[in-house]
Structure 1
Amino acid sequence: MTDVTIKRLNASQSDFDSALAKLLAWEDSVDHQVNESVRHILHEVKTRGDQAVLEFTERFDRLSVASVAELEMGQDRLQQSLAAIPQAQREALEQAAQRIRDYHQRQNQASWQYTDEDGTVLGQKVTPLDRAGLYVPGGKAAYPSSVLMNAIPAKVAGVAEVIMVVPTPDGVVNELVLAAAAIAGVDRVFTVGGAQAVAALAYGTETIPPVDKIVGPGNIFVATAKREVFGVVGIDMIAGPSEILVISDGKTDPDWIAMDLFSQAEHDEQAQSILISPDAAFLDAVEASINRLLPTMERADIIRTSMTDRAALIQVEDLEQAAEVSNRIAPEHLELSVENPEYLVERIRHAGAIFMGRYTAEALGDYCAGPNHVLPTSGTARFSSPLGVYDFQKRSSLIGFSAEGADRMGRVASVLARGEGLTAHARSAEYRIKD
């Protein structure tokens, strides 16, 4: 088997900017046919409800039932899965859930208010969403960790009802996913997938109630459907391929770094793994580790394609320049595999999650560290954040004017409203001004 040749970039080269831009480019355009298919499915479910869901479930998942009610798995079934899985898996799920819950409880925001000098009350009321929808991939790509990461923040936020949809192609159920739903406190589970599941959550059917927000990963049809229904409901994000950026001072075991890069590359041929170091010899050593370890990987073919097409080894002058390059990339996962990660963290402005120190493998964040693994991809960490409790809460402004405050601020509002030519606004405020 031939060795993988990984792109090499050097930050000191004159064409580095264009080479980096080319490396990061990812074509996110949705295929026209996918768009048309998704719009058709959304329309059918919106107008025909349960019947359309049943037809699409039979067509795509080869699952034929008489009613959508038969596609619901009750709490007894979830508990059955929890009891059936091996004890080690149950304990791992429970430990991960507890850490995720502990972390997210610290994100919970409380309502607040204050009274100004006129006796006017101002504040913010924080309330949870009434109902959240959680999409969970089924079939080969079954991720119980995603159930925990999406459902637990919603429950911590106080969402009254979390509804999970998960496809079960040919009726094959993933017991670990159902067990995770039981542990996370998911309220209802429907074995429906694809764009039809997104449509059911967005618009509601006779059996599946409409939700306020849809979260969770899915294939191109699911992502396109989420994009289409945004506005009718909220969504978490449109996620691109997974990515990892490692900054190393050259003193970490090269095998560790190679495996950390593999941990993202094995997700998908489009996943991106990048290593930045000021030490050219270390980049060589990691490349050698990559080629030595690759044949030992179960998903070697996927990793090989990802590393060949989208990976890079980038040489920089020093760690400060490494931080600058990292900020331009704004990675989903950033490992700081250096002696003093705290020093480098101060220089990082854009990253979904920052893994500090040589012992902090990104994989721990995927499962059990505690912070959420649903992270901004494709450079969107420049303006977005990990999924959290705040994604399942709304903030309402509180305004309660006293008579004195209405008099004083009414005069200000009157001037501004008349300046904008909005007479009714002005007179509404002026009614409350004292003579």
Structure 2
Amino acid sequence: MLKVTDLRGRTPSTSELRRVLPRGGTDVNAVLPTVTPIVEDVKCHGAKKALEYGQKFDGITPESVRVPQSVIDAALEGISDEVEEALKQAIARIRKVHAEQKPAAHTTELAPGATVTEKFLPVQRVGLYVPGGEAVYPSSVLMNVVPAQEAGTETMVVATPPQEAFGGWPHPTILAACKLLGVDEVWAVGGAQAVALMAYGDDEAGLEPVDMITGPGNIFVTAAKRLVNGVVGIDAEAGPSEIAIVADSTADPVYLAYDLISQAEHDLLAASVLITDSEELAKQVNEEIEARYTVTLNADRVKAALTGQQSGIVLVDDLAASIAVADAYAAEHLEIHTTNAREVAEQISNAGAIFVGPYSPVPLGDYAAGSNHVLPTSGTARFSSGLSTHTFLRAVNLIEYDEVALKEIGPHIIVLSEDEQLPAHGEAIRARYEVTGAEGEEQ
């Protein structure tokens, strides 16, 4: 089922690996002509236009953009005890991890009377997008809301598509997750129109714009985030889900098959990649996938993802080559199934999150490992990080010098300002410790 790329017997460069490794790709530029008018319409006409687009794309118009508190309350009452307990357990683990991510303010003394203090201020109002297309994602509520709360964000809005099956309100499990987290502002709007409405708001409808938008979505949501970036902050332009697995001959092919299948069920464009130096393991994994994927609920979607150009098996000579390929691929999720898996994991430089050993599968991270599942895709893990408490914090420096400290460093600043031909910078320093008379002569 998975096509094989055989790199044995040679050492491809990073440049070559970027060309030959399985990779799909979503061309955000291609949908910008479609998304731009939507964003502009909502910018100019607010909630009215957002609801019109919701009717067009989701087939339903809710009674209001903002979900009534009574509907949110009823959603929590309506879910099973098992689902409620599962959400609570996941929230507790995610909160513990993200609470410990928050950095403390610190002060650096450069000289007597010269200090720079770095403190961290939360983004004040955040918009959190939760998808609602191919599947229901209450887990995305948890992964977006908890780090924002731990950062100290004052207010937040969750935007998620209306559902015809639920009278135009979002899916009850999503609303229940919001209730458990204390989020009382939920907008029943999805897609590009949700992103635009969060960015620009609507005074007449009582919808306050946000300062930052986070959360995954389809290519239209991603395009809208690109268009409003600068008006608001965004976390990233997320692509389809990815899993890569580095495995040797000791790996269990059944585990690997299930893990590759599990990520393939996210999306038709989801990527599942196995990197191994064992031809026998590669064969066994393909056989196990063939035998098992057909019994899954989303078999058609899984088959499309696994047979797409974005998925495959990469055969290499040895473990060192596997690590090199994994770093070049820079997967959103990377599993390590080798002897001494932790040692191998420590050698990886590029991955959104690394899952170590046979009992740390990616689905653990999708829900309740405590880590965040909003991670960099499409190779961007080479230079970016996943969603975390840090995402919702801004580092601000407080610079405080007294007169003596300024006099000590002042001559050097004057020299540099003159070298850059910005003499007024130097004059601003000199004016503070050289008193001059009316004729400009120093007194």
TM-score past 0.5 threshold: yes
Say if 2:20 is the partner of 1:22. yes
| Contact 1:135–1:215 (Cα < 8 Å) also in 2 | yes
Determine if the alignment matches structure 1 residue 256 to structure 2 residue 255: yes
**Deviations, residues 273-294 of structure 1 (Å, cap 9, x unaligned):** 1112222111111111111112
Specify the code of the residue in structure 1 equivalent to 2:49.
A
From 60, 65, 68, the counterpart of 1:71: 65
Give yes or no for contact 2:103–2:120 (8 Å, CA) kept in 1.
yes
Aligned length: 428
Q: What is the Cα deviation at residue 20 of structure 1?
A: 5.9
* Aligned equivalents of 1:20, 1:12: Cα separation in 2: 18
Matches within 5 A, 1:240-251: 240-251=239-250
Return the alpha-carbon distance in structure 1 between the equivalents of residues 25 and 243 of structure 2. Answer: 18
Residue 46 of structure 1 pairs with residue 4 of structure 2: no
Counterparts of 1:389 and 1:429 in 2: how far apart (Å)? 38
Distance 2:55 2:296 in 1: 36
Q: For structure 2, list consecutive stretches of 5 or more residues without a partner in the other structure.
A: 436-443
Return the offset for 1:299: 1.6
> Is residue 2:147 matched to residue 1:167?
no
**AA paired with 1:370?**
G
What corresponds to 1:269 in structure 2?
268
Stretch of structure 1 that moved more, 347-356 or 48-57: 48-57
Q: Does 1:285 align with 2:281?
A: no
Query: In structure 2, how many angstroms separate the alpha carbons of the residues matched to 1:223 and 1:403?
Result: 50
Deviation at 1:37, TM superposition (A): 2.8
- Aligned counterparts, 1:33-432, within 5 A: 34-64=31-61, 70-170=64-164, 171=168, 173-206=170-203, 207-309=206-308, 310-432=310-432
- 1:367-420 superposed Cα distances (whole Å, 9 cap, x missing partner): 000000001111111001110001001011110111111112221111111111
User: Are the equivalent residues in 2 in contact too, given 1:75–1:182 (CA < 8 A)?
Assistant: no
Unaligned runs of 5+ in 1: none
Change (3 A) 1:11 1:235: farther
Deviation at 1:115, TM superposition (A): 2.8
Partner Cα distance (1:376, 1:365) in 2: 14
With normalisation by structure 2, the TM-score equals 0.92
Cα separation, 2, equivalents of 1:197 and 1:55: 12
Change (3 A) 1:154 1:26: same
Which residue identity lines up with residue 115 of structure 1 in the other structure? E
Matched residue SS, 2:111: coil
Q: 1:9 maps to what in 2?
A: 6
SS in 1 for 2:119: strand
Task: For residue 25 of structure 1, report the CA deviation from its aligned partner.
Answer: 4.0
Q: Give me the whole-angstrom Cα distance separating, in 2, the residues matched to 1:261 and 1:58.
A: 36
**Secondary structure of 1:173 counterpart:** coil
Distance 1:396 1:31 in 2: 34
Mapped to 2, the partners of 1:71 and 1:346 lie a distance apart of 47
What amino acid is the match of 1:273? S
Residue type at the aligned position of 1:409: I
Letter in 1 for 2:28: V
Q: CA deviation at 1:421?
A: 1.4
The residue identity in structure 2 corresponding to 1:22 is V
Partner Cα separation in structure 1 for residue 189 and residue 181 of structure 2? 19
State which drifts further: 330-339 or 365-374: 330-339
Q: 2:396 aligns to what SS in structure 1?
A: strand
Query: Residue 123 of structure 1 aligns to a residue in which SS?
Result: strand
Going from structure 1 to structure 2, the CA distance change for 1:128 and 1:415 (only over 3 Å counts) comes to same
Distance apart, 1:31 and its partner CA:
5.7
Report the CA distance shift for 1:357/1:100 in structure 2 as closer, same or farther (over 3 A).
same
Shift of 1:104: 0.4
- Identity among equivalent positions (%) equals 39
- Go from structure 1 to structure 2 and tell me whether the alpha carbon gap of 1:80 and 1:307 turns closer, same or farther (over 3 Å shift): same
Secondary structure class of the residue paired with 1:72: coil
- 1:229/1:57 CA distance change after superposition, 3 Å: same
Distance 1:301 1:139 in 2: 16
Q: State the 1:236 CA deviation.
A: 0.8
Provide the rounded CA distance (Å) in 2 between the counterparts of 1:227 and 1:357.
37
TM-score (norm 1): 0.93
Pairwise CA distance, 1:18: 4.1
